[in-house]
Amino acid sequence: MSRIEKQQDILSKLKDSFSRDILDITAFKGDVTVLVEKKAVLNVCNYLKDDPSFRMNYLVDVLAVDHMPRSPRFDVIYCLYSIPKKQRIRVKTMVAEGESAPSVTGIWAGADWPEREAYDMFGVVFEGHPDLSRIYLPDDWEGFPLRKDYPLRGYKDRYNPYGEEKE
Amino acid sequence: MIKDDNENDLLATKELTLHLGPQHPSSHGVLHLVIGLQGEMVTSCRPDIGYLHRGTEKIAENLLYHQFVPYTDRLDYMCSSSNNLAYVLAVEKLLDIEVPERAKYIRVIAAELSRIAGHLIGIGAWAVDLGAMSILLYAIREREMVLDIFEKLCGARMTHSYMRVGGVRYDFNKVCREACEELVRVLPARVDEYETILTGNRIWLERNKGVGFIPPELAISMGLSGPALRASGVNWDIRKDEPYLVYDRLAFDVALGENGDCFDRYMVRMVEIRQSLRIVQQCLAGMPDGPINVDIPEIVPPPKQDVYRNMENLIHHFKYVSQGFKVPEGEAYASIEAPKGELGVFIVSDGSERPYRLKIRAPSFMNLQTLGRVVNGLYLADVIAVLSSLDPVFGECDK
């Protein structure tokens, strides 16, 4: 079986196991993205980590994307890699503003800092994270800079005379 | 030292919180560590980062695709060509273009040279942190040779911006080839010299052997990558496992450690310098003639001298500079084995000339979060050794 057939084979198996929770599976330029219902993220991640045909034992990154004005507003993407199987999968879920995303720190401890970064930059709260605080910016910073409605030069205050006025 | 029995109450010490950095000579940049101490024993360690945060990802969303290349130089500024490479590979993946053979070989040489420069400064700074000043001076001397090659290649020494979407900026000429051959000839003996000074050195061994042990399971679950992961015995090198450019045609060994301590992380880097030289040598021999850029005028503008003589070239050049090029809608992730580990760039494109979202997966950032888990129970002085062995660079860590 070729690599691509094999990949399709295990992906259809994944789809069968979580038929209700997996909304879509896409392969774009060789990158597989699985769009998952938010409540099922932890189950799918656990399955991907433990199932012998996936064995996604390595968490590459956790990131958020702001799709304003879409509703739900944010995409949260968990990038996974399998060191034994040498394959990559991205698990994607959609999170509305004010909602929380599930934290995968219980599955991969390395999700700690990337989730803090996503919170710092987008304000996406990760439920179950042991210590969700800002990582780059000071604790008293206002706003989330990578949101699309945050001005490029920041907001005007006594330290930032070139920023935009807050309405 | 803590003595539990009451007779020695006087020896018990109060828990102390020590702030190391953000300006400290051995913190490798602007790192702030909040360390809990019982006497000289570390009881907790919390890295506080972000002092060099410049909002690179936000900047990227507001620039044309080709304008962002110089910003990638400033991520891991010890090896800017690697950063250029990760970014242009991601954009090329979205554009679905493949660069010419010659450009691939040149890119591999640039990436491996920057790995040598990065490892040299990493080991030099590490040694000086542990008190061996001379190694830093030697390492800087050899790194100078590498920087001279880059100067001959693209005119810049540190911030190259050498790679562009669709190829490289300048051709690899005879002068560069001779300089590379000289490096391949000279450097192995110089690396032997470092090994004579460090590998058998009793102080170096005692400061690094058995210090900062990272078991392979912890390394994998914490997202460690690069030399630090391989020192724990995990055989994962993106150059081998998901080969990009021409790495599948090159013969080189992946250095693996056994114990996962600081000394293994040092040895892995030493072996990697030698292997990089092997790769450079093979690329010099195997590099074909031919173009160094794809022949798509919207993506790669014509050479400057042609712009003055030809109307179409002038138009292409003007459109490239003023409007950039459009990238098809989609999401793509490209990653390379950078000197510090897996450097990945994730781009969400909305079909315009600017990335809708660009995420940099910085290896220094992911590697550094392991520090707090590893140093508990060690002496304060060992924190410096472990930190140096993870080799974080804050341009990249703080983005």
Query: What is the rounded average pLDDT for all residues in chain A?
Result: 87
Is the Cβ pair A65, B348 closer than 8 Å? yes
Residue numbers of B between 254 and 283 with CB closer than 8 Å to A: none
Is the Cβ pair B369, A113 closer than 8 Å? yes
Q: Whose CA is closest to A133, among B33, B21, B31, B50?
A: B50
pTM: 0.90
Mean pLDDT value across residues B123-144: 90
Residue numbers of A between 24 and 53 with CB closer than 8 Å to B: 28-29, 31, 33
Q: Whose CA is closest to B395, among B146, B72, B160, B21?
A: B72
Mean pLDDT value across residues B34-44: 89
Predicted confidence (pLDDT) per residue in B180-237, tens digit: 999 999 999 999 988 888 888 888 998 898 898 999 999 999 999 999 999 999 999 9
Predicted confidence (pLDDT) per residue in A10-68, tens digit: 788 777 777 788 888 888 888 889 899 888 889 889 988 888 888 889 999 999 999 98
Task: Provide the pLDDT for residue B302.
Answer: 87
Task: Please name each of the domains of chain B with its CATH number.
Answer: 56-397 (1.10.645.10)
Chain A partners within 8 Å of B222 (Cβ): 109-110
Q: Which helix (H) or strand (E) holds B136?
A: helix B133-154
The yes-or-no verdict on residue B342 having pLDDT over 80 is: yes
Angle made by CA atoms B3, B5, B11, in degrees to the nearest 5? 35
Q: How far is the alpha carbon of A78 from chain B, nearest alpha carbon, in Å?
A: 12
Please check whether residue B244 is in contact with residue B299, taking contact to mean a CB–CB distance below 8 angstroms: no
Please check whether residue A44 is in contact with residue A51, taking contact to mean a CB–CB distance below 8 angstroms: no
Chain A partners within 8 Å of B49 (Cβ): 135-136
Task: Provide the pLDDT for residue B252.
Answer: 92
Residue type present at position B61: E
- Classify domain A3-110 at the CATH superfamily level: NADH:ubiquinone oxidoreductase Nqo5 subunit (3.30.460.80)
Q: Whose CA is closest to B286, among B187, B182, B177?
A: B177
Q: Is A135 on the interface with B (CB under 8 A)?
A: yes
Q: How far apart are alpha carbons B295 and B331 in whole angstroms?
A: 24
Task: Tally the residues of chain A.
Answer: 167
Is the Cβ pair B361, A113 closer than 8 Å? no
A46-81 as b/e, with b when 16 or more CB fall inside 10 Å?
eebbeeeebebbbbbbbbbbbbeeeeebbbbbbbbb
Peptide bond into A151 cis (omega under 30): no
Q: How far is the alpha carbon of A59 from chain B, nearest alpha carbon, in Å?
A: 6
